[in-house]
Structure formats: C-alpha cells, structure tokens
Chains A and B, each alone.
Chain A
C-alpha cells in the first residue's frame, strides 16, 4: 500500500508542476497587460521587459484627455447598446424558441429550416448591404442600428433555447390549457418563470456581444469617434499612427473593460456551461 501512496504522491506532484507551469503561461499575457497599463514611459516598443517606472496617469488621462479618444463616452455608448441589445435579443430569442418548441402550426418546420440555413452564411458577407440599408432608413451611424443588428443576429441562434424548452414536460402546458389559460399566459406565467437558466444564458451572451464585437461596429461608425463602442475605440488606439502615444492607455482601457466582463462571466459561469452543453450533459 505504501508504494501505491508513493506513486499517488508522485503523480500529484507532476500534475501540480504542470498546472503551475500552465498557469504561468496563461497568466503572463494578462500580467503583462496590467503592468503596461501602469507604465510611466510612452511607446509600445521598449527595450526592457518590465516597465522602468510606474504611474496611474494612464488611467487618469483616459478620463481627462477626451478630445481625440473619448473613453468615458465609449464606455457609456457600449453600456447603453449592451443593455438594450440584452433586453431585445433575449425577448426575441425566447419568443422564437418558445414558438418553435411549443406551438404547432403549418409552416413551423419551414421557418426552422430557413433559420438554420440563414445562420450558415458568414455573417459579414452581408455587412455592406446592411450598411446601405441602414443608411437608406436613416439610421446611419446610430446606436439604434447596432442594437437592431446585434439583436437580429442573436435571434437566429435560437437553437440552444429551443433545446431547453423541449425538455420541459408538455403536460404542464396541457394542465394550464384545461384551466383555461391562453397560450400567451402559459408562455409568460408558466414557462418563463421556470426557465431561469436559459434566460440568464441568453441575456449573458447577448449582453457581452456589443463589448467584444468590433467588426460590425467599425463598419457602421466609420470615423465618427464619438459614437464608437469600446472595442472599436480601443482597436483604433493600436493603429500605426496612434500606437506610440496610446499603447499604455490602450492597456489601461483594456483592463477597465475586462474587469466587469470577467466578473460577470465568473459569476454566471454555471449558466454559461449549461447553455453551451445544453441537453448533451444529460447524456
């Protein structure tokens, strides 16, 4: 038995060693980001690995020097877009997935297949056309256009939520129908309250989308700096003509965005995993 224990200890030791090395590798970029955000000297390319001096002025200047890059405003923009997208997209996704899962009507299968097919076209193939449509209806360079497009894109990925609704026993609906509830009442009063995990998952993913998307936002907003979301703005800071002046401020800004997102993510991890693996964990 002693030798068994010894091998066990040995193998645990090896595992600890590997995990520690991996943790270091995984944390280095993040540590580097945080260090750079406090770096006193300018520029992206310095010849030393660690900064020579430390300062908080990068953070302060993000909020005080706002003539070219208005960080606080971008933060506000992103937050607003994210909140609205979150509400609208969640409603849309839940409505669509509930309809496909619970209601039976003539063209249900056709609708579902069209949704599935549309989802397989690469998203930004249509970007240019969407841009011109938004221009035609007068929503050019507006936040409403971002909200509309993010929500629509999100609504096409109804599959996860539909899978969730599929697992709720139909007997509940039937009982409610006998008691005289309409389908609308069943949806709002019976199904939604017991669907917390999927509501949280959908809300979380749609809330995060505007924080991380920079492709679509940059195509829509072009050079209208004041309307930027954080992702586009921070990306601009790293462009060749700005990187020398703004690299450390980019790091500071990136740290500030990452904090709320990381907290949200860690807090709602469980729902996220449940959402992605869906019914499959049930084997």
Chain B
C-alpha cells in the first residue's frame, strides 16, 4: 500500500489492515525465517571454508619466512619491521601453549567420559586420618572443557590473523609499499576500527558470564546430572537425547508436568498481558478525561505503587492473602468462612492473575498516557457528532490507535509475562504443590519450575531441557514478530 493511502485511512481500518497483513504474511514470514537461518548457517560455513582455503594457499604461496610464521606466530612481522605486532602474536602463542599444557588439556582429555574416578575415602595408614583420593569431577571437567574449547577457537582466529599479517608484510615488502607503523594501527582503534575498541570489553564479559555458562548448561541437557549424580561423590555422564525423550512422553510424570505447566503458562501470559493492557488503558483514559481535576495527583498515586520494589509489594500481598492473613481475618470477623486464596490450586491461579493486575495496571497507565494524548482530537469530535457512545469510541478509535502504536511493546510484554519469575515466585512460590506434578506446584510457570529444579532439587539436566524449550518458544514468538515489524526494516531510513 502506498504511503498516502495510509494517511487517508482511519486508524481503525489501518489497524485491521495491519492485523490482516500480519496474518496473511505469517506463513511466509515463518518460511522466510527458516530460510534466513539456513542462509546464515551457509554464510558461516562458506566463511570458514574460505578462511581454511586461504590459510592453506598462503602456506604454498608464501616465502620461507611466511612459512616459518605458521609454527612461530608473528615471525614474519618481526623480521619485516613490525616488531611490536610480531611480539604480540608471539606472546599470544606462548600464552596459549602454557594455558593448554598446564590447565586446558587436563580437563579436555576427559570430555568423552566426563571422568571415571569418583571421590572415595581411605584411611591413611601412618597418620590414621581419613583422606580423599584425588578424583575426577564431571562438573568441572565439562565447565573447563567448554572454557578451553572457546579459548582454542579464539586462538585459531588469532592464528589465522597472524598468518594474514605476515603474508601482507611479505607482499608489501616485495612491492616496496611502506608498512603501516604500529602506532598508527593503534590509533586507528579510535577511528576506523573504533568498533573493535568499543566491543572488545563487552564481548569478553558476555563470553565469560553468558555464552560459556549457556554452552555448559545446554550440554548438561545431554547428561544425567541430576540429584542422584552429584560430583565429586557421584559422577555424571552423557546420555544423549534421553532427557528430551523423558519430557516428551517417556517419563510420564515429567511430561505430564511439562505440558500442564506449558498450558498454564500460555493462559497466564495471555490473560496477564491483555487484561493489564486494556484495564491500564481504561485507567489512563479516566485520568485524562476532560474535566477531571487533579490529574497529577491521581497519576502519582498509581505511580507510587510501581515504584515500590516488587519483592516488597508482592511478598506483602502473599502475606495479606495468606490463610491467616488480614483479609481472611476481616472475612472471619464479618462472619464469612475463610478463603484459601493462595493454597487452593484454582483459586490461586485466579488470584495471581488478579494480583498481577495490581502490579501491571499502573504500569500500562504510565506507558499509554503519553500515547493517548497524541490521538488527534478531531477523531473524537467527529465520533461525537456521529453520536458514538463512550464504549464505541473506545473500541473504534482509542484501542485501535494505541494498539497500532504499541504492538512491539505488547509483544515484549507477552514474552516477559511468559517468563515472569517475580510475580509467581514471590506470591506463591509456585504452590500449592501437587502430587502428580514433578517437583512443581499448580501456579508454577516453566521458569519458576526451572528455578526450583536447579536451586532446590539439583535436577540440572531436566532444568536445562526446560530452559532450551522455553528459549525455543520465546525465540519463535519474538523472531516472527521481529521479522514482521517494520521498525527493523526502516532502520536505515531515519538516518
């Protein structure tokens, strides 16, 4: 559709148009997504292959000095006047070799078995003290192996870079081109290669605290690292896809729990997101209504409740609605029976959704207030002339307009709610427990289940399977929308 058509359309028709377009394009977008993932993989494979080929061809083409640079990194650079650069490469090589021989290899050699000697006690015959035999620790073997593998990959990249640098030095020397002085290369880090400067720190941190732990946990999904296999006393080992098979039917309790919680997770995410959204907008509309005095006061009252940290307000709520909490006391004093607000499965589920409204409505109010004020006043006036009532105006003008503007926000909210740890854990801790659920309760979401499995029950393998599945669900939801959203495509247009 052309741009000028868009402006002629009313916001409601525009929104319907958007929704229709989204649904119509959904299959295409999914296909496109899969294709683009395939393309990215192919690109990566081609990149690696090309690197490998040039790595070999330089060895054949290069002179003896360049050839020596293969085992002794930076040799070519040093001989051809780039002493500092060459020394840096050589330093990297020495560092790498010391790392592998003194640390990395000790763990990497056991990665196939994850260790065979569990810790055992024996009594030292001379002193009579209980001693421990030096033992393998599957957990450390796996963790440090992952670390070593990452270091090896990084080293290979540096190695290839050093070879290229040596070869470039050789060619430049032959053609009598002056080499770029080291100082200028360093200076380029503040200009042409400023991205390298800015990204190095964050990349190292992300590798240390996100990527390596993540690789480790993904690998755990293929082991039997559970409560019964805790190293160093009990080693764990590879089990292939057994944990995934368990979740998808082989183990009845586990798969039952997974699908039960998955269903509830979706119900929760949908109701939490949309109820909060609609009711929050209604609240914003009421506060912004013409003729309402003290707008700022009303707004501040609700904003205060957002600002109070969630762990305070939610813990408080869980006490308020506890079996012998104040709400039940009031009910008793009034002559009613007490209500098991958070201790009966069904009631608890309704209650967490309701209490989440208390948390979420002011938040939506705050976010949508600004947008509401941007709605052109003419739209409302013409609606009034046409005799539209309050509800009709809301359904036909306000809601579509705001929906149109905040669709991306709504999607992030949905994914956020799907993984909303705080509200559930602080309110009910996933309870009430249920006999037929595996280490979980009625109100548990997949993430709170995951948390309990790791921190309380040490079923790391099952937890990481759940983590991978949660990732797949949220990634699919976000990527489809991200592919669809125009913002991604318009990125360059703004600038």
Contact = CB atoms under 8 A, between A and B. Distances in A.
Interface in B285-340: 286-287, 289, 291-292, 298, 300-313, 315-317, 319-320, 322, 324-326, 329-330, 333
Interface string A137-159: 00000000000110111011000
A103 B194 contact: yes
Contacts of B455: 127-128, 219
Contacts of A47: 329
A221 to B, nearest CB: 13
Interface in B421-465: 421, 425, 447, 450-451, 454-455, 460, 463-464
Contact of B205 (A155, A167, A276): A155
A214 B311 contact: yes
Nearest to B312: A254
A25 interface: yes
B478 A120 contact: yes
B214 A125 contact: yes
A170 B291 CA distance: 44
A276 to B, nearest CB: 6
A235 interface: yes
Contacts of A92: 201-202, 205
A51 to B, nearest CB: 11
A255 to B, nearest CB: 9
A192 to B, nearest CB: 13
A74 to B, nearest CB: 13
Given A126-B210, A235-B315, A258 B309 contact: yes
Main secondary structure of the interface of B (DSSP, over half): helix
Contacts of A187: 194, 198
Given A117-B475, A219-B455, A273-B370, A30 B202 contact: no
Contact of A125 (B408, B450, B487): B450
Contacts of B415: 120
A23 B298 contact: yes
Nearest to A93: B202
Interface string A156-176: 100000010011111000000
A35 B138 CA distance: 53
Interface in A166-205: 166-170, 182-185, 187
Interface in A100-126: 103, 105, 108, 110-111, 113, 115-118, 120-122, 124-126
B197 A18 contact: no
Contact of B210 (A44, A113, A152): A152
Interface residues of B, number: 97
Nearest to B471: A121
A124 B374 contact: no
A70 B215 CA distance: 38
Q: Is the interface of A mostly helix, strand, loop or mixed?
A: helix
A130 B209 contact: yes
A125 B210 contact: no
B10 to A, nearest CB: 15
A281 interface: yes
Contact of B308 (A12, A127, A261): A261
Query: Is the interface on chain A under 10, 10 to 19, 20 to 34, or 35 or more residues?
Result: 35 or more
B4 interface: no
B495 interface: yes
Given A257-B309, A273-B370, A132 B139 contact: yes
Given A148-B209, A155-B202, A231-B309, A129 B329 contact: no
A3 interface: no
Given A12-B289, A281-B374, A122 B205 contact: no
Given A32-B316, A120-B471, A277 B371 contact: yes
B73 interface: no
A83 interface: no
B447 A122 contact: yes
A62 interface: no
Interface in B138-169: 139-140, 143-144
8 contacts: A19-B298, A122-B447, A122-B471, A125-B464, A125-B470, A126-B216, A219-B455, A280-B409
Interface of B: 40, 139-140, 143-144, 190-199, 201-202, 205-206, 208-214, 216-217, 283, 286-287, 289, 291-292, 298, 300-313, 315-317, 319-320, 322, 324-326, 329-330, 333, 358, 362, 366-367, 369-371, 374, 390, 405-406, 408-409, 415, 419, 421, 425, 447, 450-451, 454-455, 460, 463-464, 467, 470-471, 474-475, 478, 482, 487, 491, 494-495
Interface of A: 8, 11-12, 15-16, 18-19, 22-23, 25-27, 29-30, 32-33, 44-45, 47-49, 92, 95-96, 98-99, 103, 105, 108, 110-111, 113, 115-118, 120-122, 124-130, 132-133, 136, 148-149, 151-153, 155-156, 163, 166-170, 182-185, 187, 211-212, 214-215, 219, 231, 234-235, 238, 254, 257-258, 261-262, 264-266, 269, 272-273, 276-277, 279-281, 283
Pick the 10 closest A-B CB pairs, nearest first. Answer: A129-B213, A125-B467, A126-B213, A265-B307, A262-B307, A170-B495, A184-B190, A183-B194, A182-B191, A254-B312
